[in-house]
Structure 1
Amino acid sequence: MSESTGLHVVVLAGGISHERDVSLRSGRRVADALTAAGHRVTLRDPDAGLLPFLASERPDVVFPALHGSSGEDGSLLDLLAALGVPTIGSSGPAARRAWSKPVASSLLAEAGVAVPESIVLSHEAFRELGASSVLRVVREKLDGELVVKPASGGSAQGVTIVETTDELPRAMVEAFTYADVAVVERRIVGTEIAVTVIDNGDGPTTLPAVEIEPTTGIYGFQARYNAGETTFYAPSRLGEAELAAVTDAAIIAHRTLGLRDLSRIDFIVDASGTPWFLEANVLPGLTETSLVPLAIEASGSDAASIYGQLVRTAHARSRGSVSGSGPGSGSPQN
């Protein structure tokens, strides 16, 4: 097949996670962009018929636009690799490193990136050791405002800002609604920044950083997906030194976690200009209010060009003509 010929791309969207609706919106936009780029697109839900369909159809590339555990915990990515289907995005092992916020934070801290001080609690330990005793220790270790969040998941679901000790028990219950492990971390106050990383086989590069300013001061689920709830600045209004620091940290995160093709790395930049790592997204949202499309627009490109190139990269990689993570990535083996 010549490079000028469109490829058959299966876009995966939906799933059964809490983020199903967001995934469907992402998938439709990806499908539209790839169609505009000249590819033949099939939009599929990851249901019981998916694997037989892929085994018989043998598409040129699969583009997962899934959010939540159905796409980001590495399980589906392992199965796609086992089928030998060329897939855009990170490997299963890399996705698992990013999916677990405590694991990702530990790896990034070892790599020299600033990470908020935190305590990780399983639901089982929380119950067995007694909620009041556990929270007393937490409060002795972490004073001031806190952030409580599920150890996995996205779209800020289950995340609570805790200003007073009385708010902590309810915040734990909310986090445990979405995951069996919760993270309690010291809140970093500053400017929230998202950095999109693109890697087409020559090493990771960044798109313009996007600055996030929610009207309520908290970038929660509603602020992420309802138009008008948040003001975005793309590119960010940060100074040159701060932008250099946060983009360098994003590249370190992408490489340290062994990510591939596309990722979005989220930070808080404090008053001193230090970028604090929040999380890494291997399948970031691609809806009309998502951060990656804003970064693409700020770069002067468009979704059809960026997603189309990612499709070509994944297809070429399956034929052995593109490296997995680019030269000198220094990342864990995928």
Structure 2
Amino acid sequence: MRVALAVNRSDRYQSGFGGPDDEYEEFDSPETAAAIANTIESFGHTVDVLEADSTFPETLARGKYDFVFNIAEGLRGRCRESQVPAVAEMLGVAYSGSDAITLGVTLDKELAKRVATGRVPMANGRLFKNPRKIDLTGLSFPLLVKPNAEGSSKGIRNTSRITEPEGAKERIAALIDAYNGPVLAEEFLPGLECTVGVVGNDMPRVIGAMEIAPRNVPLEEFVYSLETKRDYLNQVDYHIPPRVSPEVLKQIYKVAIDAYKALECRDFARVDVRLDAMGKPRFLECNPLPGLSPVKGDLVILAKATGMTYRELIGEILDVSFARQGLLMQQRAELKCAS
């Protein structure tokens, strides 16, 4: 097959004047794009790496591609992750991963919580849009304060856990201004945090779960922040599976699968879960475009720890996506002809 790898590469963009230093934190390195392209090619496909910018629609149409492997974060706005799937659907090109609606919903954290309410347990929270109208009545401290429509821990710092109202109001107002959008404040969950890898469609399955354990701060104060992710080798330890009882692990898996289904994810995703003060798993958020860096991608790390190689992970994503779209038999026929 002719495959287009849709990506936004970090070396192609520079933060604008006055913008936050994590403006393009979500974007993939050229090394990650190359690793994915080389892995897809190892299955017998031809791969072109396409930048998911304003040139993407014309390039995709002109290239007559059979399939888009989508890891693109998109440009501008809370619907940016929906851009590649929407273009691919418009042009009638099959693609990997969740559709434009799911990607748009899950990037908007408060909207994702509304969709998943009643299906998965979650922390109480509130959305703020106006820096001059911040009413925290009814919320219990401490709070975790974060931009509502950002990924890769953008805007989430070590100081995002706020213990008193005035500090929370200042933080919320500052984030509204810095990220030019709404801010979500949630009651902080003090228990163990983990991330769960899910693959599949009609019968999605957990491929593994990973506990993120802080080295330098107490668990009940730990924030999986941007600073921590940038220095993860020194700041955290990963435990696969999480250090919980079999019953709690089963509950974590259930929360992840239920969230995956509620948000109508496709092919693969990563679901973040944290335990509350009573040790009960709560849904944090879902990422249907999880990082696939062969070195530091959380999904890749947990997959490797469960015995799955990088090639096997990419291969399984391809397989479930091809099967969902009736392309698996076409792939096998092409491989048979090639041999």
> What's the TM-score, normalizing by structure 2?
0.81
Q: Does residue 94 in structure 1 map to residue 102 in structure 2?
A: yes
Q: Does residue 265 in structure 1 map to residue 271 in structure 2?
A: yes
Q: Which one of 229, 245, 254 corresponds to residue 239 of structure 1?
A: 245
Identity across matched positions, percent: 23
Aligned pair in 2 of structure 1 residues 148, 14: CA closer, same or farther (>3 Å)? Answer: same
SS of the residue aligned with 1:12? strand
Matched positions, count:
304
Residue aligning to 2:49: 43
**Structure 2 unaligned spans of 5+:** 14-22, 217-221, 330-339
Are 1:23 and 1:285, in contact at CA under 8 Å, matched by a contact in 2? Answer: no
The 2-side partners of 1:26 and 1:66 are apart by: 12
Question: How far apart are residue 242 of structure 1 and its match?
Answer: 0.9
Residue aligning to 2:6: 12
The 2-side partners of 1:28 and 1:269 are apart by: 37
Q: Which one of 303, 307, 311 corresponds to residue 304 of structure 1?
A: 311
Q: Does residue 104 in structure 1 map to residue 98 in structure 2?
A: no
The 1-side partners of 2:75 and 2:122 are apart by: 23
Q: Which one of 223, 226, 229 corresponds to residue 231 of structure 2?
A: 226
The 2-side partners of 1:285 and 1:10 are apart by: 18
Are 1:114 and 1:275, in contact at CA under 8 Å, matched by a contact in 2? Answer: yes
**Structure 1 unaligned spans of 5+:** 1-6, 323-334
Are 2:123 and 2:189, in contact at CA under 8 Å, matched by a contact in 1? Answer: yes
Q: Which one of 84, 90, 95 corresponds to residue 76 of structure 1?
A: 84
Are 1:11 and 1:63, in contact at CA under 8 Å, matched by a contact in 2? Answer: yes
Residue aligning to 2:186: 185
Are 2:6 and 2:50, in contact at CA under 8 Å, matched by a contact in 1? Answer: yes
The 1-side partners of 2:73 and 2:231 are apart by: 17
Q: Stretches of 4+ moved more than 6 A in 1?
A: none
SS of the residue aligned with 1:74? helix
Are 1:33 and 1:307, in contact at CA under 8 Å, matched by a contact in 2? Answer: yes
Output the aligned Cα RMSD.
2.4
Q: Does residue 295 in structure 1 map to residue 289 in structure 2?
A: no
The 2-side partners of 1:69 and 1:243 are apart by: 37
SS of the residue aligned with 1:175? helix
The 2-side partners of 1:264 and 1:152 are apart by: 17
Residue aligning to 1:164: 164
Over residues 3-62 of structure 1, what are the superposed CA-to-partner deviations in whole Å (9 max), with x where a residue is unaligned?
xxxx33222222666235446454333223323444332222112322212112122221
Q: Which has the higher contact order (CA 8 A, sep 6+)?
A: 1
Q: Does residue 152 in structure 1 map to residue 152 in structure 2?
A: no
Over residues 36-95 of structure 1, what are the superposed CA-to-partner deviations in whole Å (9 max), with x where a residue is unaligned?
444332222112322212112122221122236668632321111111111110011121
Residue aligning to 2:214: 214
Are 2:26 and 2:152, in contact at CA under 8 Å, matched by a contact in 1? Answer: no
> What's the TM-score, normalizing by structure 1?
0.83
> Which one-letter code corresponds to 1:236 in the other structure?
P
SS of the residue aligned with 1:276? strand
